[in-house]
Amino acid sequence: MEIRRAHASDLPQLKAIGAVAASAAQWTQQQWLDIFHTEAPARLAWIAEDRNGPDQGQGIGFLVARGGGPEWELENIAVLPGFRRQGIGRALLSALLDEARALQAERILLEVRASNRPAIRLYNSKGFQLLARRGGYYRNPDEDALVLVHSY
């Protein structure tokens, strides 16, 4: 597996991963395009590629964040179902944490479904802590969001 910064040419792979990952935010075409065309605040994306399987170079996970300045936000993260629990989400999250630290971020925020225990465990393992709960934040199904924060 290799983690690298994503480029606009990776957009088809990012969208395909997001489409099959139930926990990923389901974005419109414009939201996907905005990743590579928004400058203030900057939006950054990473892609995880399979380097060992039959489809070498295939995208197997991604992370998108909005950043620059003291506060960053993890906007979307997904790993293909067949590649979960192999450290890919952790590696993507580490890439974000390293970049934010290098650019002198003070904190990173994210929202996660209250029922998404695997994601919450991952975030907690990387130093994210509960900041707040947003009642009824998610739809289909209706559910609260937990707001987590990682402070440097």
- Contact of 107 with 152, CB cutoff 8 Å: yes
One of 111, 137, 138, 143 is an active-site residue; which one? Answer: 111
What is d(CA 10, CA 40) in angstroms, rounded to the nearest whole number?
A: 21
Amino acid 73 reads E
- The answer to whether residue 138 is catalytic is no
- The answer to whether residue 123 is catalytic is yes
Q: Where are the beta strands (DSSP E) in the chain?
A: 2-5, 42-49, 59-67, 71-79, 107-113, 129-138, 143-151
Query: Token digits for 98?
Result: 């390293």
One of 123, 137, 138, 152 is an active-site residue; which one? Answer: 123
What is d(CA 48, CA 122) in angstroms, rounded to the nearest whole number?
A: 17
* Catalytic residue IDs: 111, 123
